[in-house]
Amino acid sequence: MNPTALSQSTRRHFLATSAMGLGPLALAWLLERDNLLADEQGRPELEDRHFDLKPKAGHAEPRATAMISLFMQGGPSHIDLFDPKPEMARYDGGKFPGEIKYDNAAQASSKVFASPWKFQKHGQCGTEISELLPHLAEIVDDVCVVRSMQTGVNNHGQSIYALNSGSITAGRPTLGSWITYGLGSESQNLPAYVALTDPNSLPVVGVQNWSNGWLPSLFQGTVIRPREPRILNLDPPPQLGGARQESYLKYLDQLNREHLDRHPGELDLEARIASYELAARMQTAAKEALDLSGETAATKKLYGIDEAGTADYGTRCLIARRLVERGVRFVQIFTRNQFWDHHGNIRSSLPAACRYTDKPSAALVKDLKQRGLLDTTIVHWGGEMGRLPVIQNDAGPDKIGRDHNTHGFSVWLAGGGIRGGLAYGQTDDFGHKAVSDVVTHHDYHATLFHLFGLDPKRLVYRRNGREQSLIDNQPSRIVREIIDLS
Amino acid sequence: MAKLPAELRDPIRAARDAAGDKRTPEQKQLLKDHPSVNVSAGSLYLYDQKAADDLKKYADRAAGIRAKKPVEEFVRAITEVPGKVPATLLFHRGDPDQPKQALTPGDLSILARVCVGGVPEKDPSLPTTGRRLALARKLTNGTHPLTARVIVNRVWMHHFGRGIVATPGDFGFLGERPTHPELLDWLASDFMNPTNTPPYEGGKGAWRLKRLHKLIMTSTAYRQMSAERRTRNAESKAGASGAASLPVPSSALRASEIDPDNRLLWRMPLRRLEAESLRDSVLAVSGKLQVKMFGPPVPIKEDEVGQVVVGIDTTDSAGRPTGKEVSIGNEEFRRSLYVQVRRSKPLAVLETFDAPAMEPNCDARTASTVAPQSLLLMNNEFVLDHARFFAERVRREAGDDARAQVMRAWRLAFVREPTDTEIKATLELLAQQVELAKAQPQGDTKTKGSKNDASNHDPQLQALASLCQALLSANEFLYID
């Protein structure tokens, strides 16, 4: 093909798709969401260079249509919360019999530290849960605890990247970006992918946690602020709203499209055009979604919004439910920087972290269930690592802690086709390494994709002359054992 | 106290003298029933007007004397105790409760073989150890392999959006490899020992950043356009713009296939303005920019919805709004560089456009494209105010003729002339906005907090402000191509 022919076909192609795909702005936010949904069209086969957030069919019938990930940044101690190791009591205070993979070898001890907290069986299923998580214990029949997670890499940043973007290096698209790239969003009035950050600080690797990497910027996560007003600038001054704003936006859209014509293929420019359309609709939709005044006192109590210790995180969990209810595809809630990184003072700081998250997290599952949303919403609770069975910081009982452990740790999942009442996988007798039914970050991603009806090998993005994917040809398996087959 | 029944005096005295949070409920009740025992400076006038007047006189005199107190011009600095060499201990995970072995000053051990000079434990010629001075000298003695490379890489990054080493804070094993290693070496070497000092530097140019900027910005790489080559060709065939038809080498067509991330810089990357540049550009175009340098920072405050804006915080000590507005005059139009930075209170305009929170330090920013940015450009008071200022400027400079206004607005915002099609569309917008503004009931149009209400009764100016807002929120303004 000669160059001119290709460029002209590209240009024509763009104009054709933009007329239907991106659409003229005209009163977009006045249109009912359903009308927009009816407008669905697939991405063009020939040329994959224009993107939108309209809902798309996956490769198979989905079990899940949305996901809420409660990201416990820092690495919750699995052996004190989810993975009881009664054998360890015999060794408590003694030398660890074997080899330990320390992250911080210079400061390690090999003194075994058995969990000071009691475990008990709960629910019909009898999954054992630590006394630190009484609220999780109540919903354990809806929950699958995966006790054999493994990323096997050193340190927080790398393991966060592994779990959130499939690879230990920075710069790749995150899970939420991939899922919205593959499936678009059920809501055209709210961001498809939302990050709810903590009022105190951003998690380790900061904004990279919701980065679109090299996927088009349309698929990056939008932060909803951790305090009021959660989204700024939702209201135009009265005299500039309505018809005047429509006229301004229509003209702006025209300016931007002519500019894009001069810079074809600049996906960021396209994304900004789309972001004006979304912003126009968000003026009413986001305000409604974030207004919790219509929630009953009982619901607020359920999430712990009436108590100072859980109010912030509980509010974010409730917002997550409201967003998913309104068609947002992927929501991730982050605890603050290194909230669960208990190298020291674990006896006081781990219970505190549990008190902050346990009640609202369980409430989210209960609430989704009572609203019939749990069937199609995956809830994930977990951090980027677990912790070692030996003491770190051997400076007195109150000061001791545990070092990182990415070789075996636990997360829990619920809803969206996940089998409830299950404890899956095993670590060794000390909880150091996953030994049976190991679930790597690739397996985790393959399983999530499967539940969303996506084939991880077929959801690809062409770049650098090759097809890139979340799993990127790494060995992976769909963990069918944790999927509810009923 | 003397007026009270004798039996109450002691308990009331005890209640009054007790600390506020230590009082028993009975004591609190007593004080409530007998407010006269608890006279304060604020309630004195109720009991003794003359004493209150006296007190006020003294308070005024005290304030007058305080006002004469000279400003202390101290700069906070940390220094060593002379004659004492402090031991530097390694803290276990940074925990000062767990000191480990003592450390001596030094550079990265991997660099020991390639760079000259060490950092002595104590400089005998100085009263203090002189370690920091020694380190600074070592870093800049021309043999340190990182200093110049890191500096030129950062300058390069700010011009191109990405460094030659894409991880500006990590030149080590976990960082990215340079895309153009020879260029990095040459720039670093030339930065320290200029080979040909251009006349504009008047001679010497070693370690001169301005020279480095000029070198980069006059390079062929920097002066490329951002559009793909095949695009220029398509444009000219389609007759959409006046660009001349350029010969297209067959390889150019495939540049985007071979190197989609443009790592080899076959074109200039299209970049969004950084947060501060964006705010400053708005100020410059609206004609309000104050280029005053130095002095104390421009203060910030939270507005009524909790959005951080420039201005003086007038909330009371309990954080309640007092409704007072204290003008800071033209200070509010100073460059973003001069706006106070508080981690807990990032300026909303900057934060929304990815100004980092600096927790921890940020070595390379992201450039996000999200709806809150669009909302800001659509509805934020700062943007709306400056659209208005911009409109007033255009009318001042171009007169009342709509076409002349369009030409002027375009020139100011985009630094080019509009095409005929653009002029036509823009005149249509103006006509439409004038009609809509006229149709609005008077009196209803007062902008919340707007600083120039006169234009609310001026449909032409309102329409022009809408146009100006569109130009300020257009991609052509937000992106450098």
Q: Quick one: tokens of A134?
A: 């009484």
Chain B 92-131, residues with CB within 8 Å of chain A CB atoms:
92-93, 95, 97-98
Q: Is the peptide bond before A229 cis (omega within 30 degrees of 0)?
A: yes
According to DSSP, residue B114 is labeled T
Convert A64-76 to b/e letters by CB count within 10 Å (16 or more is b). bbbbbbbbbbbbb
Instruction: Give pLDDT tens digits for A395-411.
Output: 888 889 999 999 999 99
Query: What is the distance between the alpha carbons of residues B118 and B262, in angstroms, rounded to a whole number?
Result: 41
CA distances to A231, A383, B249, B365, B466 from A410, rounded to whole Å, are: 34, 8, 56, 33, 55
Q: Which residue in B101, B345, B379, B478 has the most chain A C-beta atoms within 10 A of its own C-beta, making it the best mutation to test that interface?
A: B379
Q: Are B382 and B349 in contact (CB under 8 A)?
A: yes
pLDDT band at A2 (very low <50, low <70, confident <90, very high): very low
Work out the minimum CA distance from A397 to partner chain B, whole angstroms.
Answer: 14
pLDDT band at B314 (very low <50, low <70, confident <90, very high): confident
Work out the minimum CA distance from B429 to partner chain A, whole angstroms.
Answer: 7
> What pLDDT is recorded for position A122?
98
Instruction: Give pLDDT tens digits for A181-210.
Output: 999 999 999 999 999 999 998 899 888 899
Instruction: Give pLDDT tens digits for A46-57.
Output: 344 678 899 999
Which percentage of chain B shows pLDDT scores above 70? 88
Query: What is the distance between the alpha carbons of residues A362 and A275, in angstroms, rounded to a whole number?
Result: 34
Q: Answer yes or no: is pLDDT of B236 > 80.
A: no
Instruction: For the beta carbon of residue A24, count every other beta carbon within 10 angstroms.
Output: 13
Chain A 220-259, residues with CB within 8 Å of chain B CB atoms:
220, 222-223, 227-229, 231-240, 243-245, 247-249, 251-252, 254-256, 258-259
Residue type, A254: Q
Instruction: Give pLDDT tens digits for A62-96.
Output: 999 999 999 999 999 999 999 999 999 999 999 99
Instruction: Give the residue carrying structure tokens 């100085």.
Output: B126
CB-neighbour burial class of residue A330 (10 A; exposed 0-12, middle 13-18, buried 19+): buried
**What mean pLDDT value characterizes chain A?**
88
Q: Who wins on pLDDT, B261 or B274?
A: B274
Chain B 410-429, residues with CB within 8 Å of chain A CB atoms:
422, 425-426, 429
Instruction: For the beta carbon of residue A166, count every other beta carbon within 10 angstroms.
Output: 26
> What pLDDT is recorded for position A433?
96
Q: Answer yes or no: is pLDDT of B240 > 80.
A: no
Q: Are A464 and A438 in contact (CB under 8 A)?
A: no
Length of chain B: 481
Lowest model confidence (mean pLDDT) among A147-161, A201-215, B357-371? B357-371
Query: What is the distance between the alpha carbons of residues B205 and B125, in angstroms, rounded to a whole number?
Result: 31
Cβ contacts below 8 Å, chain A against chain B, sum to: 205
> What pLDDT is recorded for position A465?
65
> What pLDDT is recorded for position A108?
74
For the residues B259-268, what does the mean pLDDT come to?
88
Report the chain B residue with the minimal C-alpha distance to residue A3. B253
B415-B419-B423 Cα angle (round to 5): 100
CB-neighbour burial class of residue B107 (10 A; exposed 0-12, middle 13-18, buried 19+): middle
> What pLDDT is recorded for position B200?
53
Q: Answer yes or no: is pLDDT of A39 > 50.
A: no
Q: Quick one: tokens of A128?
A: 């054992």
B469: which chain A residues are within 8 Å (Cβ-Cβ)?
Answer: 248
pLDDT band at B357 (very low <50, low <70, confident <90, very high): confident
> What pLDDT is recorded for position A167?
92
pLDDT band at B229 (very low <50, low <70, confident <90, very high): low
A464: which chain B residues are within 8 Å (Cβ-Cβ)?
Answer: 260-261
Contacts of residue A186, defined as CB under 8 A and 6 or more positions apart, other chains included, come to: A37, A55, A65, A66, A327, A328, A329
> What pLDDT is recorded for position B196?
65
> What pLDDT is recorded for position A119?
98
Beta strand extents in A299-401 (DSSP E only): 330-334, 377-382, 386-387, 390-392
B326-B329-B330 Cα angle (round to 5): 150
3-state secondary structure of B257: helix
Query: pTM of whole model > 0.80?
Result: no
Beta strand extents in A113-242 (DSSP E only): 119-122, 127-130, 143-150, 193-196, 222-224
Contacts of residue B353, defined as CB under 8 A and 6 or more positions apart, other chains included, come to: B272, B273, B274, B275, B278, B373, B376
Instruction: Give pLDDT tens digits for A111-135.
Output: 999 999 999 999 999 999 999 999 9
Query: What is the distance between the alpha carbons of residues A383 and A77, in angstroms, rounded to a whole number?
Result: 9
Which percentage of chain A shows pLDDT scores above 90? 75
Check CB contact of B248 with chain A, cutoff 8 Å: yes
User: Are B306 and A228 within 8 A, CB to CB?
Assistant: yes
Query: What is the distance between the alpha carbons of residues B239 and B256, in angstroms, rounded to a whole number?
Result: 23
Work out the minimum CA distance from B173 to partner chain A, whole angstroms.
Answer: 13
Check CB contact of A105 with chain B, cutoff 8 Å: no
Q: Are A293 and A305 in contact (CB under 8 A)?
A: no
Question: Of the candidates A4, A231, A233, which has its C-beta nearest B233's C-beta?
Answer: A4
Query: What is the distance between the alpha carbons of residues A36 and A195, in angstroms, rounded to a whole number?
Result: 24
Between the CA atoms of B142, B148, B150 and B152, what dihedral angle is there, to the nearest 10 degrees? 180
Terminal Cα distance for chain A, rounded: 53
Instruction: Give pLDDT tens digits for B401-444.
Output: 999 999 999 999 999 999 999 999 999 999 999 999 998 876 54
Q: Are B374 and A275 in contact (CB under 8 A)?
A: yes
Query: What is the distance between the alpha carbons of residues A155 and A74, in angstroms, rounded to a whole number?
Result: 10
Q: Who wins on pLDDT, B445 or A157?
A: A157
Residue type, B35: P
Instruction: Give the residue carrying structure tokens 């939709």.
Output: A285
Question: Of the candidates A223, A256, A261, which has its C-beta nearest B240's C-beta?
Answer: A261
User: Are B369 and A393 within 8 A, CB to CB?
Assistant: no
> What pLDDT is recorded for position B36?
73
Query: What is the distance between the alpha carbons of residues B473 and B374, in angstroms, rounded to a whole number?
Result: 8
3-state secondary structure of B327: coil
Query: What is the distance between the alpha carbons of residues A206 and A157, in angstroms, rounded to a whole number?
Result: 10
pLDDT band at A169 (very low <50, low <70, confident <90, very high): confident
Lowest model confidence (mean pLDDT) among A431-435, B116-120, B122-126, B458-462? B116-120
Chain B 147-186, residues with CB within 8 Å of chain A CB atoms:
none
Instruction: Give pLDDT tens digits for A367-378.
Output: 999 999 999 999
Examine the predicted complex and report whether its ipTM is higher than 0.85: no
